[in-house]
Amino acid sequence: MDDGPSVRSRAISNALRLGVRPFLHYLPGHATSIRTARSTMDAASLLLRHSPHVRVESLNDPAPGDDGGLPVRGEWIVPRDAVAENPPGAVLYLHGGGYVVCSPRTHRPITSRLAVDTGLPILAPRYRLAPEHPFPAPLEDAVAAYRWLLARGVPASGIVLAGDSAGGHLSAALTGELCRQGLPGPAGLMLFSPWVDLTCELSMGAQSRARDPYISASSARRVARLVVGPTGFEDPRLALLTCAWNDMPPVLIQVGGAEVLRTEAEAFADALRRAGAHCDLQIWKGQMHVFQILNRVLPEASAAMRDAAHFVRTVTGGTGKHPRARKRSTAA
């Protein structure tokens, strides 16, 4: 988009910069503050309405089967007019929250919008959170959710992996893990404001230049230490920028132009392209971290979600209904 952020976008960004960012800068740091942050995010989710044109079904499948897999819990979001049985495709959406907060419920504004715009069901697993369950526990849960889709007849060619922030990191890590485990790869990978570098080296370098109204690189680095636990950053599955991204599906990355994680998204896009992957990097001018969650409020977020739905339909061969198909380009 050539124009700057809308008046509504600027007003929300200023409110977050003054009211929310100072709070998040100090949370979480220990068990009490993590509980506070989780309660706050859950309460805030009640203020963000999701689309009324979906059915949100609770998912609790404790039966791992004979392969010794993990249970799958979370939400199954289905367009109201969709056929429930044997869907031709699905989006596996992994929510953000720094691996320590949030849930499928907090991200219903995104998952419900994806369901409506693509006509496909959305699986939003409730993966285990740090520090109680450090990495790779979330990755193990994500693999179990992908296997759950395959076991129910959803073809890999109809599955798109998606996620925001830490969920973006988890979605990318899941793509690599599927290859390592010999599972069929997804049709596409879609990342909103991905937290690519958990060491936060890139974002710390960009912190003085970015005008992120929501998060700081300093708070992200503090959270990262909780995520990795006592083993530290040695697990190679954490290091997205140094992985060998061979045979990758098409990738869409959307990032706000004002956010501190923009540098990480740009570096990841470069790494993917060097490996031969097709990667569309969209930098939305003046937008904050995971602005897509405000798609019922911000025109930029609504436009970004239309682009996301277009990407899903394209890589899955148009397996779902798409009542609002439209492609829009963006500019930094």
Express each pLDDT in 203-258 by its tens digit.
998 877 777 766 788 889 989 999 999 889 999 999 999 999 999 999 999 999 98
pLDDT attached to residue 15: 56
pLDDT attached to residue 5: 80
- Domain 7-316, what fold? Rossmann fold (3.40.50)
Q: What are the structural domain ranges in the chain?
A: 7-316
Catalytically active residues are: 165, 259, 289
What whole-number distance in Å separates Cα of residue 111 and Cα of residue 66? 31
Sequence-distant (≥ 6) Cβ neighbours of residue 19 within 8 angstroms: none
CB-count exposure of residue 240 (10 Å: 0-12, 13-18, 19+): buried
Residue 323 pLDDT > 80: no
- Compute CA distances 259 → 17, 160, 164, 283, 296, whole Å: 12, 25, 13, 10, 21
Express each pLDDT in 167-176 by its tens digit.
999 999 999 9
pTM: 0.90
* 162 DSSP β-pair partners: 93, 190
Residue 281 pLDDT > 70: yes
What whole-number distance in Å separates Cα of residue 101 and Cα of residue 80? 29
With tokens 């970004």, the residue in question is: 304
Residue 293 pLDDT > 50: yes
